[in-house]
Chains A and B, each alone.
Chain A
Amino acid sequence: MGSWAKPFTVQVSDADLELLHKKLELATFPDELEGAGWDYGAPLADVKRITEYWRDKFDWRKTEETINQLPQFTTEIEVEGHGSLNIHFVHQKSAAENAIPLLFVHGWPGSFLEVRKLLPILTAASPDQPSFHVVAPSLPGFGFSEAPTKPGFGGYQHAEVLNKLMLSLGYNEYVYQAGDLGHVLGVYVANAYGHKHLKAWHTNMPTYRAPTFWSNPLLILEIFTNKAVSQTLEQASRTWKKGGGYYMVQTTVPQTLAYSFADSPDGLLAWIYEKLARIVDDYHWTEDEVLEWISIYWFSRAGPGANVRIYYELTGGNKHDMFEGTKWTSVPLGTSYFPKEPIRFPKSWACLIGKVVFQAEHDKGGHFAAHEQPEKLAGDLRMMFGKGGPAYGIVPGKDGYA
């Protein structure tokens, strides 16, 4: 099966760059309360500093060149009821022919670039470690992929895109790694294509819908008997109360937010930077890193307003949780726990997602594990899929060894 993929390079137009700079020159900042720190949101000093750097020092063309060192492509994917979407992706093959095909899926406010640091580690061919052929798309509406044009592009539609992408590259059977929304979509892929195409998957944000007394009485009872469990839940509740504002807005009125994102570079910066800075573990973002990240949103193909619609589509406009219509699957699942991941589930609840065959716990790392701790994350994948690991040889004929 051939691939119809076309090579792709990021090429932002001069006009777009000029408009950005015009807006940066006009940037008008709010005031701030004395001693606010991070209490009220992204601090003024930070946002001002990064915006001014963006205006005066950040070199997009140089950044663009570096991004273009990644092997990028686009391909047309038909989605039932939604026509054809042009999907952008990174595809890096290993020198090892029998490398395991791995689909890496970003979340929000992430991008395909989150795979960058993993690539050299995962694709390195070696007799001692399994290696992978890595595919990392921009989700529809993110980065350089087209966005859906009609309502109703939900979890199964995203799963269809992801599965068809792998099939189009000749990867009839593959594995999957993700966190954040990529994890949510992994549940859908497992439900729709588990065993037949998706042979195993790994998540660094193992969550699902909460158990009920009727479905899992023992897990519910544990809340009262196990302090670690109740503490995790209390922390989750606190995190939600303090940090769930973006979720409430994005699941209900993404279009209203879109106007700000499309029109104000520092407005977009602040909204995303607030997350980048807060949910990492002692990770020091440089201005260039932050701005490269924000630029993927600012210069995205569908515009910065499109990506947040995924929150609405997955939840029916906050009518239900993100996992509606999915259930537990027996596709082998690996889980990794990073200490500063804010969206946490008690570990004993991971069994609600799927058949957990691998679990790792780390002492450092936050929400953006692939970006913050690529060695640890890659190490987990090597353990899970390597010789002696619980998912060794899960893709027939592609055990990952040279």
Chain B
Amino acid sequence: MASTTAEEQPFTLAVPDADLELLRTKLASVRFPDELEGAAWDYGAPLADIQRLVTHWKNSFDWRKAEAAINTLPMFTHDIEVDGFGTLNIHYVHQKSAVKNAVPLLFVHGWPGHFLEVRKLLPLLTAGPADQPSFHVVALSLPGFGFSEAPKKPGFKGRHYAEVFNKLMLSLGYEEYVYQGGDWGCALGAHAVTHYAHTHIKAWHTNTPFYRRPKFLSNPLLFLGLLTLPFNEPALAGLQRSQEFMKKGMGYYMEQATQPQTLGYSLADSPVGLLAWIYEKLVSWSDDYPWTDDEVIEWISIYWFSRAGPAAAGRIYYEITNRNTNDLFEGTKRTTVPFGVAYFPGEIAQTPKSWSKMLGKVVFESTHDKGGHFSAFEQPEKLASDLHKMFGKGGPAHGVVPGRNGYD
């Protein structure tokens, strides 16, 4: 199979003036709801926060400046044929390292994330210290997110995402590569290795390890481990936090997994509706990250100006869960490629650490004292350091990609 690096199609983000004007007009006509006294965060995103952010969006945020900064990233698009779905034009960042034998790494975002989550990692991974391994980093916009096209038909499953990932990497001449992802990046990682472990994906890492509860027949030891859970305080605390999350934090999941179109009308029509829907997660899922108003609005803008529109992204929940009739890992199997996990304290779904073994062959583990769900954005040094340790000399996944061990 030829894997010549076909010429990449550079991509420049250029939101039309008309779109900016429409946004401005909508922001000028925002109607706010009321709020209960002393509600704080109990009922959802607080009114004071949202009002402040809207004012900032209207009066201070400079999209063209943000756009120009985004355009300093090396971005491209590529047409990818997906079995049964025709061609999808996929947007991605591709930053090569000066180190020729750098390890090709695919970075996959989740929801409500996007490709820019890789931004702070880029210098750390592609141009780190000489004694650390370097990476060629590819970070795509998932189909339906950011500046990638969305599938036009129902039924875009895990294996289709995996197909997009793999074909993208192959098109760049990366026959063999490693994978890093959180949130959907983790679930889709499980799908990707199911199809391409060993042949193409040589190792993978996640910063949001979560999985389904072990069943006795498939994992008797882990299942029995559940019985000792009451005596394992940290695991129990984590599981309790997960159960809390299941009760109080899963509204977005259920709605997106069952009625993404219904939700989509609000997200497409109301910038403040979209802002609130996403901002609520940015704050509640991160670990005390000091979001600036510019950061938040830039983040929301990726959704507002996304190629497929803000309603398309939520459909991934519907498709992968088959309209909420199965979990995110349906159709995946455990593979034996080296697997690394990072545990961050602010992570929302905290399954016992022993369950990571069900997800993959754990060769590397790290536990941090700070950072939440968006760790690439919140704690890039910690995450980069994990990847350095996992793939560096003496690390458990060193040299997994033949001929590209990260050092010249």
Interface set of A (CB-CB < 8 Å, partner B): 19, 22-23, 26-36, 39-44, 47, 147-151, 241-246, 248-264, 266-271, 274, 302-306, 309, 312, 317-319
Contact = CB atoms under 8 A, between A and B. Distances in A.
28 contacts: A19-B29, A26-B25, A28-B268, A29-B268, A30-B265, A30-B268, A30-B310, A30-B311, A31-B309, A34-B152, A34-B153, A41-B259, A42-B261, A150-B36, A151-B37, A243-B258, A249-B254, A251-B251, A259-B32, A263-B31, A263-B269, A266-B269, A267-B270, A270-B262, A271-B266, A303-B34, A306-B34, A317-B248
Interface in B279-323: 280, 308-312, 315, 318, 323
A255 B35 contact: yes
Q: Which of A27, A40, A244, A305 has the most CB of B within 10 A?
A: A40
Which one of A32, A241, A256, A309 has the greatest number of beta carbons of chain B within 10 Å? A256
B345 to A, nearest CB: 22
Given A29-B268, A256-B44, A259-B276, A242 B258 contact: yes
Contact of A253 (B37, B44, B267): B44
Q: Pick the most buried of A42, A148, A242, A252: most chain B CB atoms within 10 A of its CB.
A: A252
Interface stretch (B9-17, B45-53, B229-237, B353-361): B45-53
Contacts of B262: 40-42, 270-271, 274
A304 B33 CA distance: 7
Contacts of A246: 255, 259
Contacts of B256: 245
A41 B261 contact: yes
Given A252-B248, A255-B47, A263-B273, A245 B34 contact: no
A33 B268 contact: no
Most buried by B among A19, A42, A149, A263: A263
Contact of A151 (B36, B272, B318): B36
B43 interface: yes
Of all A-B residue pairs in the complex, the 8 with the closest CB atoms, nearest first, are A305-B33, A267-B266, A260-B273, A30-B311, A41-B262, A256-B44, A255-B44, A41-B261
Given A34-B153, A270-B262, A245 B33 contact: no
B260 interface: yes
B22 interface: yes
Contacts of B37: 149-151
Contact of B257 (A245, A257, A267, A271): A245
B265 A35 contact: no
B330 to A, nearest CB: 14
A345 B67 CA distance: 55
Contacts of A35: 153-154
A253 B264 contact: no
B34 A30 contact: no
A255 B42 CA distance: 9
A44 B266 CA distance: 12
B40 to A, nearest CB: 10
B282 to A, nearest CB: 12
Interface of B: 22, 25-26, 29-39, 42-47, 50, 150-154, 247-270, 272-273, 275-277, 280, 308-312, 315, 318, 323-325
A259 B324 contact: no
Contacts, number: 218
Contacts of A266: 265, 269
Contact of A257 (B38, B44, B261): B44
A225 B259 CA distance: 35
A40 B259 contact: yes
Given A31-B312, A41-B263, A249 B269 contact: no
Given A42-B265, A245-B251, A253-B251, 19 more contacts: A26-B269, A30-B264, A40-B315, A42-B259, A44-B261, A149-B37, A150-B36, A244-B254, A252-B250, A252-B251, A256-B45, A262-B31, A264-B266, A267-B267, A270-B261, A270-B266, A274-B259, A305-B34, A306-B33
A259 B254 contact: no
Contact of B265 (A23, A150, A262, A267): A267
B325 A241 contact: yes
A32 B263 CA distance: 12
Contacts of A303: 31, 33-34
Contacts of B38: 150-151
Contacts of A263: 30-32, 269-270, 272-273
Contacts of B34: 147, 302-303, 305-306
A259 B270 CA distance: 8
Most buried by A among B43, B276, B277: B43
B164 to A, nearest CB: 17
A255 B39 contact: yes
B252 to A, nearest CB: 7
Contacts of B308: 31
Contacts of B259: 40-42, 245-246, 274
A23 B29 contact: yes
Nearest to A27: B269
Nearest to A43: B261
Contacts of A251: 251
A22 to B, nearest CB: 6
Contacts of A270: 261-262, 265-266
A264 B270 contact: yes
Nearest to A40: B261
A36 B323 CA distance: 13
A161 B249 CA distance: 31
Given A245-B254, A253-B43, A263-B31, A32 B261 contact: yes
A260 B33 CA distance: 9
B18 to A, nearest CB: 12
